[in-house]
């Protein structure tokens, strides 16, 4: 009995592929190509001179340092939030679950103004830190707060389906074999969720690197101290320094691409390592 050929919902691979390429070209490839073509008018020495200026280096340090710190914070606390939402039932769970998506829906400028008001020295939260000698708003610490706010949903929404696929019986089986809570997490749960956690970290980091709206209101925007690279690019465009803006954008694009490539390679390695470990464990379990 011959099988009927499988039918795809979208008609025609050629038509679907053509639509995909045109869509990606209009939105991604052509804008990026324009940036690279514009930067090609500069020599490497020119790009190097612009990118290694004191103000540019300080902005790179603030942008990538704050983005990395915010992504690390989100990886830790996002895991806890996802775990609580998946493993426990409590009153108001749906409300908290919906609250996670608020940074997606809230305009970034509104988020920046709100955070600056709350974390200023006279704000509801900032005054308590000010009494302890910690100033948040209008410092690099304020940038980390803003980037943490906008990056949290990426980690939580990436981890939630993975945690839902891990049955609670797995933890009970580990506990029945004498494993402590830390051993269960480190040797049973963490290898399974690590690829998803790394994906959430990557998404949060990528979003933070390009963030602009929520940062400018809380950063203070002081050159060499709390100025992010996107703001420096905007400043150069306002001064009609298109060459400088293009050079900075190109350097940022290259650094972001290299970092994302490295993280994706690490994610691929972690996924393969987890699969190979599961494949080895299956025959052993079957032999018993």
Cα gap 191→281, rounded to integer Å = 13
Report the Cα 93 to chain-centroid distance in Å: 24
- Between 268 and 75, name the one with better pLDDT: 75
39-275 is a CATH 1.10.3720.10 domain: yes
Specify the range with the lowest mean pLDDT, choosing from 60-74, 112-126, 133-147, 174-188.
174-188
Going from N- to C-terminal start, the domains of the chain cover 39-275
Cβ-contact 55, 224 below 8 angstroms: yes
pLDDT at 286: 46
How far apart, in whole angstroms, are the C-alpha atoms of residue 233 and residue 246?
A: 8
**Residue 150 exposed, middle or buried by CB count within 10 Å (0-12, 13-18, 19+):** buried
Per-residue model confidence (pLDDT) at position 35: 79
Is 0.85 topped by the overall pTM?
A: no
Residue pLDDT, tens place only, 199-254: 889 889 888 988 888 898 888 888 888 889 988 998 888 888 888 888 888 888 88
- Give the pLDDT confidence score for residue 3 in this predicted structure: 53
Task: Please tell me the predicted confidence (pLDDT) of residue 253.
Answer: 84
3-state secondary structure of 270: helix
CA dihedral over 275, 281, 285, 286, signed as positive or negative: positive
The pLDDT of residue 156 is: 94
What average pLDDT does the structure give for the chain? 84
């Amino acid at each position: 009995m011959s099988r009927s050929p499988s039918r795809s919902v979208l008609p025609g691979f050629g038509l679907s592929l053509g639509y995909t390429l045109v869509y990606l070209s209009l939105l991604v490839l052509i804008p990026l190509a324009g940036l690279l073509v514009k930067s090609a008018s500069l020599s490497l020495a020119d790009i190097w001179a612009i990118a290694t200026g004191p103000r540019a280096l300080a902005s790179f340090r603030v942008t990538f340092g704050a983005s990395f710190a915010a992504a690390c914070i989100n990886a830790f606390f996002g895991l806890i939030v996802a775990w609580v939402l998946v493993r426990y039932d409590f009153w108001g769970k749906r409300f908290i679950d919906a609250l996670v998506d608020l940074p997606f829906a809230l305009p970034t400028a509104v988020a920046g103004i709100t955070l600056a008001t709350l974390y200023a020295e006279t704000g509801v939260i900032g005054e308590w830190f000010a009494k302890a000698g910690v100033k948040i708003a209008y410092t690099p610490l304020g940038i980390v707060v803003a980037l943490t706010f906008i990056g949290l949903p990426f980690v939580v929404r990436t981890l939630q389906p993975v945690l839902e696929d891990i049955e609670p019986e797995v933890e009970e089986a580990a506990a029945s074999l004498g494993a402590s809570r830390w051993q269960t997490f480190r040797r049973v749960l963490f290898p399974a969720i690590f690829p998803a956690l790394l994906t959430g970290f990557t998404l949060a980091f990528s979003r933070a690197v390009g963030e602009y709206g929520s940062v400018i209101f809380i950063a203070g925007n002081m050159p060499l101290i709390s100025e992010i690279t996107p703001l420096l690019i905007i400043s150069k465009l306002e001064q009609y320094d298109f060459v400088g803006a293009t050079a900075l954008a190109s350097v940022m694009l290259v650094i972001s691409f290299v970092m994302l490539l490295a993280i994706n390679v690490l994610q691929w390695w972690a996924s393969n390592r987890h699969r190979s470990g599961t494949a080895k464990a299956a025959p052993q379990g079957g032999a018993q």
